[in-house]
Amino acid sequence: MTYLILVLGVLLTRFYPQSASFARNLGFSHWQQAVAASPYGAGRESVQLYLTLAVPVVALVLVLVVLHYMGWRMVAYGVSLVGLLYAFGVNDLKNTIASYLADLNRNDVQAAFHDAASFEAGASEAEDWSQLHQQTLRSISWQYFQCYFPVMFWFAVLGTPGAVLYRLLCDYQQLETGAANLARLQRMKLILEWLPLRIFGLSLAIVGNWRATFKQVVASLASLAAAPPTLVTTYVVAAIHGDQVVETDNPQQEVAELEELPELIDRALISWIALLGVMAVI
């Protein structure tokens, strides 16, 4: 049943992102503000961080344990699905990519910069179209990775609480302004993303260009300092282009890359689901 919950969560998030949007409105920002204003969290950044993250995860674990103990398994499965949808997040990248591609096909620079801002969550600092495309490809690839693959990995390892913990870290990072807590969050995210990121690279090698992508994955095994978004983009470019020299300032190639990216991600998702299905049977 856990595997079916995962498959259902992936399908809802991938093809019906707005139908799963209710799971995002669970009040985490209000909870974070409440902890920050409480006597326990005020003026104590590290305590505030750990309380904000630990309490929801522990509460979720207790709820699931109690529901299973009482025999209310269907309710527990429903809670797990809602938690998983929250962990995936609402990520309607497919329609946004389509709008950006329409801008590229029309050679509409102003509209392309406007749509790119939705990927970057702010105005783009690119100075030309080539830089804009590189930034957009990096942002889209990273958002696809964050939405699905660490969540699926930790759901398979630790269940819904593990998946929710990863999403809480991502959400907290967007809300936090303190330098010390941001550094702590970054370290925790790096730990949670290290193995899923390499497995993601292997899956791209399988469904894309094996030789070039596998070479990048092997090189990244010894690279602890490389930024995860940079590695994701490196894997994606290698999976799409292989060992070919990537031309810059080529609108046709840029359009082809962004058209190929969702299909590449879909193939990677299928490979992960298939692998997890085999593991569930075994």
pLDDT of residue 91: 67
Instruction: Examine the pLDDT at 121 and tell me if it is beyond 60.
Output: no
pLDDT of residue 58: 96
Instruction: Examine the pLDDT at 125 and tell me if it is beyond 90.
Output: no
Average pLDDT over residues 160-164: 96
Largest CA distance in the chain: 61
One-letter amino acid at 60 equals L
Average pLDDT, the chain: 84
pLDDT of residue 229: 92
| Contacts by 173-179, CB closer than 8 A, 24 or more apart | 175/29, 175/32, 176/49, 178/45
The per-residue DSSP string of 128-177 comes to SHHHHHHHHHHHHHHHHHHHHHHHHHHHHHH-HHHHHHHHHHHHHHHH--
Which of 14-23, 193-202, 227-236, 270-279 is predicted least confidently?
14-23
Residue 151: partners with Cβ closer than 8 Å, 6 or more residues away:
84, 87, 88, 163, 166, 167
The reply to whether the predicted model has a pTM over 0.85 is: yes
Residue 143: partners with Cβ closer than 8 Å, 6 or more residues away:
91, 93, 119
pLDDT of residue 97: 78
Which of 117-121, 170-174, 275-279 is predicted least confidently?
117-121
One-letter amino acid at 168 equals L
Cβ 239 vs Cβ 204: under 8 Å: yes
Cβ 49 vs Cβ 41: under 8 Å: no
Rounded Cα–Cα distance for residues 202 and 235 (Å):
9
pLDDT of residue 90: 65
Q: Which ranges constitute the DSSP H helices of the chain?
A: 2-15, 28-37, 45-69, 73-88, 93-106, 109-120, 129-158, 160-175, 179-207, 210-221, 228-241, 251-281
In this prediction, what percent of the chain has a pLDDT beyond 70? 86
- Per-residue tokens: 273: 């689901």
pLDDT band at 248 (very low <50, low <70, confident <90, very high): low
Q: Determine how many CB atoms are found less than 10 A away from the CB of residue 17.
A: 20
**pLDDT 10s digits, 18-50:** 766 666 656 788 888 888 788 776 667 788 889
Burial class of 206 by CB neighbour count within 10 A (0 to 12, 13 to 18, 19+): middle
